[in-house]
Amino acid sequence: MGRITELLDTAHGRSQTQSWSFAGALLPHEAYELMQFAPGTRLVDIRSHAEIELNGTLPGAVHVEWQSWPGWVPNPHFLVQLAQATDPESLLLFICRSGHRSHRAAAACTEAGRGNCYNVLEGFEGDINKATGHRNELNGWKYRGLPWSQG
């Protein structure tokens, strides 16, 4: 069994255990590793333009807003924009700030008939540390030292 199969089996197992509608869920380091081994994999950053500008970008990611700031207005063209930006056969790894909106995006794409949709758990900035009130201290893409850049 190859590493791609191991990563996807782990992701599928998480999804089945939780009864999620999408193909699977990956931790940030697993998503990054999968992207290295499976070149057709696309990381889809669904954060708002404001979040990306203020908090950093993910090299090579496709950006399609799920909601816009201010007001967190849902993007009514999300599915069309995603279809225009990605190959229909690609593995799609959805990421947001914490993994919650990307969960909804992966589910919506799956429900719309798109296969191979995965959520990146923990997201870009991770969960809030209740002791300090800050993100990037417990988990997430940035916390795990994966590639990103500021502005």
Helix (H, G, I), strand (E, B) or coil at 9: helix
Query: Do residues 78 and 64 touch, judged by C-beta distance below 8 A?
Result: yes
Instruction: Enumerate domains of the chain plus CATH numbers.
Output: 3-18+25-120 (3.40.250.10)
pTM recorded for the entire structure: 0.97
Which of 91, 143, 142 lies closest to 114, judged by CA?
Answer: 91
Residues 50 and 78: their CA atoms lie apart, in Å, by 17
Read off φ and ψ for residue 149, nearest 5 degrees.
Answer: -140, 155
Q: Is the pLDDT of residue 144 over 90?
A: yes
Q: Is the pLDDT of residue 143 over 80?
A: yes
Residues 65 and 78: their CA atoms lie apart, in Å, by 7
pLDDT tier, 1 (very low <50, low <70, confident <90, very high otherwise): low
**What are 50-78's pLDDT values in tens digits?**
999 999 999 999 999 999 999 999 999 99
Residues 8 and 46: their CA atoms lie apart, in Å, by 21
- In the sheet where 117-120 sits, what is the strand order? 24-26, 117-120, 92-95, 42-45, 62-63
**What are 119-138's pLDDT values in tens digits?**
999 999 999 999 999 999 99
